[in-house]
Amino acid sequence: MDTGNGIRLLLLDIGGVLLSNGWDHNMRRAAADQFGLDYEEMNDRHHLTFDTYEEGKTSLQVYLRRVVFHKPRDFTMEPFRQHMFAQSRPHPEMIEMLREAARRNRLRVGAVSNEGRELSDYRISTFHLAEFVEFFVCSCYVHFRKPDEDMYRIALDIAHTRPERAVYIDDRAMFAEVARGMGIHGIHHTSLETTREALSGLGLSVPEPSRAP
């Protein structure tokens, strides 16, 4: 059964939509404060190598050696790594709304995400994303990053779906714009309610917001 406009595929970013970001500047600053690091130095080194990590061309261990452990520290890599992972938080109301929208409209669900392998694997497993996301086109798996259009093309090919039958949700306006430029229904996610309204505006059945007693 098709929806009124034939949409069959829901594509989702992970960080900023389903979960908090994986390792953003606020998280890096908090880590610098906790571990007594020079944030500016750490951030400069991060920007020089993080794209390579997100593209799956180096490991988290190598990333941390380049960014944090390029000089002696009074702590080891493992507590820093655990601190990184512990920053991730789910957006449960968003997850539940999207899960229910996918069920009601019989949509296939895929993720299109820029994320490093260890963080991606941890977040998918810890927050049970594979329970409702069928496939993951993550930069660490395909070795290039959004806004490369091939990220979206791979997702469409996996689902064997035409662009006009797909919706893509991302908290980065540019990445939603790239999707729209390819003929996909791109939604710039800024809040649960605006995204709910955008999905409804495409003719999809979405759950009503919960009402406080």
CATH of domain 9-21+90-201: 3.40.50.1000
CATH of domain 25-86: 1.10.150.240
What is the token pair recorded at 64?
A: 């941390």
pLDDT band at 209 (very low <50, low <70, confident <90, very high): confident
User: Around Cβ 15, how many Cβ atoms within 10 Å?
Assistant: 21
pLDDT digits (tens, 9 = 90+) for 26-51: 999 999 999 999 999 999 999 999 99
The C-alpha atoms of residue 66 and residue 19 are separated, in whole angstroms, by 26
Sheet-wide strand order for 108-113: 135-138, 108-113, 9-12, 166-170, 185-188
With residue 137 as reference, give the H or E element that holds it. strand 135-138
Residue type, 140: C
pLDDT digits (tens, 9 = 90+) for 146-192: 999 999 999 999 999 999 999 999 999 999 999 999 999 999 999 99
pLDDT digits (tens, 9 = 90+) for 90-146: 999 999 999 999 999 999 999 999 999 999 999 999 999 999 999 999 999 999 999
For the chain, which residues make up each domain, given as ranges? 9-21+90-201, 25-86
